[in-house]
Structure 1
């Protein structure tokens, strides 16, 4: 299919995706739209739950495999919307609608790119496309359950809105539940072990603490106390104070290492990670995909936001049309031109990086 036709078909699919509800865990309709694309283009595909994936026609077990991945679930629209979030409308080159920017534009652009290369011969890599579910909630029925069913992946492009710049690293995430314990008592009586006063010292420690290793791409590990809860009534000193700590991890540490450091050093009685699976991710700056993108005028940076990259064990690059600052915003939109250019740039990137011959 000619690139111009691919662009038109991709935009038509994006409009249909916008008008089909696909909150995380409720993506049946949009998964069916992806199936219809493959059927229309005579491409064999697979579906597991609400995840849809396909391999290029001339897949070879002797070649490394590149994954093109983006998600088709959305968050729920916020109360600031002035438009119907499920109505795809183009005004002044802006395509409005929930999921248009995060990450529908990336999804259809990668799908169009995969379709462009599907039947090509002489590919240096196998190419696998996966449109996945439950990204917005890091759910168990998204890419994490799909990976064991697909071929081994050697490198991945994860479609998220980056203004088509190269996010060569992405911070991981660990959320900790911490407890500061004290002695419960009546407020009228002396108490030298007040959990609330003790928590003030712990909060100051968290505010001043820093991890020693700084990443060139991602900077420092960012630790933030985001919740605090204690007490039930005015005349009772509580037995404990509960804290929640959000830690954004750079690529100098694994999540397990961060947990070990805080469990040894933090001045609290308990500190327990909710999960260690959302590690930081990156791709070597000298990887062919990165070098090709730079040659095409793309800039590199480290991303503070989380994506399905966290589930991958291979080098991965986050790249896509749209702007991350529009994600989860009211009256979400993507420029039509961004989608069209995204398809063109993805194709040029793969041609250059993977030394594709036709």
Structure 2
């Protein structure tokens, strides 16, 4: 097993479940153990490190490869440290099966974290510092929930030439991804005894009509908006509920909806669009935004010189897109041109038996090292 894969295995063993997904005090919660590991490995190689407080005791870790001479350019490498829940303790026991390293976070995104950390520490040990470009590894918290880590980093106001966000893209450089808007639909009716339903007004029946409209006519209209890199916008009803007991006509019902945005769409305009669509069908629905902060789509200019430089390193001819949302759009909104790149397939992320290709992690190291070698 190569040393970078050994590092990845050690990272998998350190639970870092986003606290939003587990009860307070859960022993798997928080990124602190991973943050300490990153800091220790970086300091042992002579790299500068800094903690950036984000949420309580949850902190981003910044690792700097400083250049020879003054800083003329700056790159940010930004994987995240948090994972989704651990349903089985065996998910914290890394297992190597052929080309696959199994374990929670292996794909999303401890594979990227291990590769980026490895490349910077090796460059520092060998004295291979770029002449005028600073590279900052920003190991971020909270990507899986509210993106508080990347939002904190974006407020730094740094002048950054390119941010590379570590996510499983199969080592392709992704310049566009979808945004996400979570909506809650609330309908009110009038309660009545179930033996005389005509005296009431069922909120559940009205909600069923609202869902039919959104997943039917509205979704068909969305299918006409096709972005060349990420495809069409989508809508999915993820949760639904209502009523109190079977013998009462329900006076309230609700549904929670995931609406994916393509580049060019804005959350406030989509919210108005959904409300207008439901009103046109005579449905009185309260539509609320569930999110604390905007999660916009990403679209970075593929002709940007630093993006082209990265394309050349990985041997990629044209821009590519992704259906998921990640920290890249948050950093881009903060003024950092951003792309997404990393080992693994998003189809493995969040799965019970998560895994990443060992060969891809090692190739990611070579690609990032080549990017360093070519820096001014």
Same-fold call, TM cutoff 0.5: yes
1:213–1:252 contact (8 Å) kept in structure 2: no
Instruction: Give the TM-score, by structure 2 length.
Output: 0.82
1:78–1:329 contact (8 Å) kept in structure 2: no
2:143–2:326 contact (8 Å) kept in structure 1: yes
Deviation at 1:96, TM superposition (A): 2.5
**Inter-partner Cα distance in structure 1 for 2:92 and 2:237:** 36
Partner SS, residue 232 of structure 1: coil
1:59–1:126 contact (8 Å) kept in structure 2: no
CA RMSD for the aligned pairs? 2.6
2:66–2:135 contact (8 Å) kept in structure 1: no
User: Which residue does the alignment assign to 1:131?
Assistant: 139
User: Which residue does the alignment assign to 1:323?
Assistant: 345
User: Given the superposition, is the C-alpha separation of residues 231 and 169 from structure 1 closer, same or farther in structure 2, using an over 3 Å criterion?
Assistant: same
Report whether the alignment pairs 1:334 with 2:356: yes
User: Which residue does the alignment assign to 1:112?
Assistant: 118
Which of 88, 95, 98 pairs up with 1:92? 98
**Inter-partner Cα distance in structure 1 for 2:157 and 2:114:** 20
Deviation at 1:129, TM superposition (A): 1.1
**Inter-partner Cα distance in structure 2 for 1:290 and 1:65:** 13
User: Given the superposition, is the C-alpha separation of residues 270 and 95 from structure 1 closer, same or farther in structure 2, using an over 3 Å criterion?
Assistant: same
Report whether the alignment pairs 1:169 with 2:169: no
2:14–2:34 contact (8 Å) kept in structure 1: yes
Partner SS, residue 236 of structure 1: coil
Which stretches in structure 1 are left out of the alignment for 5+ residues? Answer: 1-6
**Inter-partner Cα distance in structure 2 for 1:148 and 1:115:** 26
**Inter-partner Cα distance in structure 2 for 1:36 and 1:62:** 25
Per-residue CA distance 1:154-207 (angstroms, 9 max, x = gap): 431100111101222111111111122223222315248433332232122101
Deviation at 1:303, TM superposition (A): 1.1
**Inter-partner Cα distance in structure 2 for 1:219 and 1:94:** 30
**Inter-partner Cα distance in structure 2 for 1:37 and 1:321:** 21
User: Which residue does the alignment assign to 1:3?
Assistant: none
User: Given the superposition, is the C-alpha separation of residues 197 and 28 from structure 1 closer, same or farther in structure 2, using an over 3 Å criterion?
Assistant: closer
Which of 12, 18, 30 pairs up with 2:6? 12
**Inter-partner Cα distance in structure 1 for 2:43 and 2:157:** 20
**Inter-partner Cα distance in structure 1 for 2:70 and 2:225:** 39
User: Which residue does the alignment assign to 2:64?
Assistant: 55
Which stretches in structure 2 are left out of the alignment for 5+ residues? Answer: 20-29, 53-57
Partner SS, residue 339 of structure 1: helix
Which of 284, 292, 299 pairs up with 1:282? 299
After superposing on structure 2, the runs of 4+ consecutive aligned residues of structure 1 that deviate more than 6 Å are 59-62
2:79–2:140 contact (8 Å) kept in structure 1: yes
2:61–2:140 contact (8 Å) kept in structure 1: yes
Residues paired across the two proteins, number: 343
